[in-house]
Structure formats: structure tokens, C-alpha cells
């Protein structure tokens, strides 16, 4: 491994887009057009290589095939670099960061996802600072060890654990938040790492591995006042899914109507994994705190505690891919694999 090289992987996204003269819409361009807009990266003391995926895409089109290809790309280059920066569209960045955190075993190098709200070529772009700082964090070493050996998202002066972050703003530069876990670093004049919140493995000699066995048969049902039996039945019983993320109210509360509880209970009995995640951007599910969640406990629904919807979906895809027994998936889901749960 070259001790002073960082790899940039361009996947697409606003940071590398330009406006189509005919339609006015933004679409991905060749990465070389990004690098020439940021000559500052040549001032780093470490070397920077850059590659792009075979077909850069808008992050709205990302699927499990993309995740497998990206994970394999990092695995192939893992021994050549001290860290990685993945340029990614913001819309599904939290999904990708979460999925990579589950797919990577024994990770001891930084994998920093970043992007921008404005294309890199525009005068007021936020992409320039995001990329420069992400590179600096990816190369940060202390006592011969990476300072942040995790999958992270860096955006607008904050470094977040990837499986704890969510995109919450489509307009302003501070597009991401991590309401249930503190930032791993705060960036101003200096980069101030919050060491006590960074996950350091006790044994860093184990070989890095990538697990690409995924199963996308996961659904999401967001509850709302007035939701009807036909809709719930269509999602739970007629969609072919094997696991369901149930987005409930507040601390995990749901409607108590008999038809609803019966549908959920019957689905669990058939072997479907149903997990309870709050619709709120912060806070935790506490099944049983209110009477309106007792029915979910009796139905066999698994509490998602303070996990994000993005992490819940990707964790279920990962666990389903391991061909585990239903009871094993339920047990593992309630356990933190890589810091996604408190």
C-alpha cells in the first residue's frame, strides 16, 4: 500500500453535473470536468487518484446492483489506499452509506461519502469545500491508524456516521443531520474530531471483507390518519416482500383497529419480519410506553429503537441476503452491527 494515497470514486450526483443546454435539466458529466474546477487538491501532501464507475448515475436510480459494484470497487482497491472518498448524489446518500457499513467487515480505513447541493462548476457551489475536507479526513492518520475508520457522510462542516445520518433539507447546504448520534467531527478553522464517538475496533489485524449477499424484498409502510385496510393489505400481503419497515407515529404508536392488528399479526406468523421505526427525525421507538403500541408487541413486531429508516431498510436487505432463520434476523436486527443503534 502507498502510505500517502487517497482514492476518489465518482458515482454521479449533483457535484458532477452540468446543465443541459436544450432541456435545462442536470445530468452527470465526466469526472475530469470536476477535477479541473478544484486545483486546490494539488496542494495536499498526499497523492490523489480518481476513478468513476462505469456508468455514473443520478442517485435516484441506485439499487442493490450498484451497491455491490461500489463495494467490490472499494474492495479491489482497498490495499492500495489509506482512505476513500465517494462522490454521490445526496438524495440516497444515507441509504448507500448505511448499506456499505453493513457490507464491510473489519473496515479500518475511512470511506467518506460526500456531494453537493450545487454543481461543482457553479460559483457558489458547496461541492468544493465538501470534497476538499472529505479528502483531508480520508487521509487523516494518528499513531499509524486512521482517525475515522468508518463509513461516514461529510457535509457542510459536519462528519456523521453514515448509518446515523439522514437527508433532511433539499434546499440549504446543511442538507444532513444525525439527530440520534453526535457528529464524529466538527469542521471550522480546524477539524475537531470527537474521538469518543468514533468506533475503533479492538482487533484491527483481521482481514477486510465485503459481503455482497443482499435481498431487496423489503417494503416500507408509512402510517397516516385515515389509512385504509385495502392499502395496508396491498403492501403487506400482495407485494411479495419478506420484510416490512413500519413507520409509526411518535414513540412507535400505531392505529389499534382490529383489521390492522390482524394483518400485521398474520404476516408475522407467516414469517415476515416487521420492524417498528418512528416517523420522527429524532428520538426512539419505545413499544409499550403507550397503549397504541401494545398491539404491535403482541403481533410480534420488532422495535427499531433509534435506527433511521434508511439504516432499517438496508439492514433488512443485508440480513435477508444471509439466508438466516426468521428468529435470527429478528434477534440480530435488535443488535447493533456497526453503530447503527444506541
List the catalytic residues: 14
Phi then psi for residue 161, to 5 deg, are -60, 130
Return the ∠ at Cα 55 (arms to 53 and 56), rounded to 5°: 75
d(CA 341, CA 312): 10
Contact 70, 210 (CB under 8 A): no
Q: Helix 326-333 crosses helix 309-321 at what angle (to 10 degrees)?
A: 150
Contact criterion met (CB below 8 Å) for 153 and 160: yes
Contacts of 65 by beta carbon, 8 Å cutoff, 6+ apart:
none
Distance CA 206, CA 142 (A): 20
Retrieve residue 303's grid coordinates. Answer: 422495535
- Compute the distance between CA of residue 225 and CA of residue 73 in angstroms, rounded to an integer: 44
Phi and psi dihedrals of 85, rounded to 5? Answer: -120, 120
Query: What grid cell was written down for 29?
Result: 458529466
Of 210, 216, 213, the C-alpha closest to 84 is 210
Q: Which residues contact 331 (CB under 8 A, 6 or more apart)?
A: none
Pairing of strands 176-177, 166-167: antiparallel
Residue 209, strand partner residues: 105
Mapping DSSP onto H, E and C, the string for 176-220 reads: EECCCCCCCEEECCCEEECHHHCCCCCCCCCCCEECCCCCCCEEE
Q: What does the alpha-carbon distance between residue 90 and residue 59 come to, in Å, rounded to a whole number?
A: 7
Chain centroid offset of residue 310 CA: 6
Amino acid at each position: 500500500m502507498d502510505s500517502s494515497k487517497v482514492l476518489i470514486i465518482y458515482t454521479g450526483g449533483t457535484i458532477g453535473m452540468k446543465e443541459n443546454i436544450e432541456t435545462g435539466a442536470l445530468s452527470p458529466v465526466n469526472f475530469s470536468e470536476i477535477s479541473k474546477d478544484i486545483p486546490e487538491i494539488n496542494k495536499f501532501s498526499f497523492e490523489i487518484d480518481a476513478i468513476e464507475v462505469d456508468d455514473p448515475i443520478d442517485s435516484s436510480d441506485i439499487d442493490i446492483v450498484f451497491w455491490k459494484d461500489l463495494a467490490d470497487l472499494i474492495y479491489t482497491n482497498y490495499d492500495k489506499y489509506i482512505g476513500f472518498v465517494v462522490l454521490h448524489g445526496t438524495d440516497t446518500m444515507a441509504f448507500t452509506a448505511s448499506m456499505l457499513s453493513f457490507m464491510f467487515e473489519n473496515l479500518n480505513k475511512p470511506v467518506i461519502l460526500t456531494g453537493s447541493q450545487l454543481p461543482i462548476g457553479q460559483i457558489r457551489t458547496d461541492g468544493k469545500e465538501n470534497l476538499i475536507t472529505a479528502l483531508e479526513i480520508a487521509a487523516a492518520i494518528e499513531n499509524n491508524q486512521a482517525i475515522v475508520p468508518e463509513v461516514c457522510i461529510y457535509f457542510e462542516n459536519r462528519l456523521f456516521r453514515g448509518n446515523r445520518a439522514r437527508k433532511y433539507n433539499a434546499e440549504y447546504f446543511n442538507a444532513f443531520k444525525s439527530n440520534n448520534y453526535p457528529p464524529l467531527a466538527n469542521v471550522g478553522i480546524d477539524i475537531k474530531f470527537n474521538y469518543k464517538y468514533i468506533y475503533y475496533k479492538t482487533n484491527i489485524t483481521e482481514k477486510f471483507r465485503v459481503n455482497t449477499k443482499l435481498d431487496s424484498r423489503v417494503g416500507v409502510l408509512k402510517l397516516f390518519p385515515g389509512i385504509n385496510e385495502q392499502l395496508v393489505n396491498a403492501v403487506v400481503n400482495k407485494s411479495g416482500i419478506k420484510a416490512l419497515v413500519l413507520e409509526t407515529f411518535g414513540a412507535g404508536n400505531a392505529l389499534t383497529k382490529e383489521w390492522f392488528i390482524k394483518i400485521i399479526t398474520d404476516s408475522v406468523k407467516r414469517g415476515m419480519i416487521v420492524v417498528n421505526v418512528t416517523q420522527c427525525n429524532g428520538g426512539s421507538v419505545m413499544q409499550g410506553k403507550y397503549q397504541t403500541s401494545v398491539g404491535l408487541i403482541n403481533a410480534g413486531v420488532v422495535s427499531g429503537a433509534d435506527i433511521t429508516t434508511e439504516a432499517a431498510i438496508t439492514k433488512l436487505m443485508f440480513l435477508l441476503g444471509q439466508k438466516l432463520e426468521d428468529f435470527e434476523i429478528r434477534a440480530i436486527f435488535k443488535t447493533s452491527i456497526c453503530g447503527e443503534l444506541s
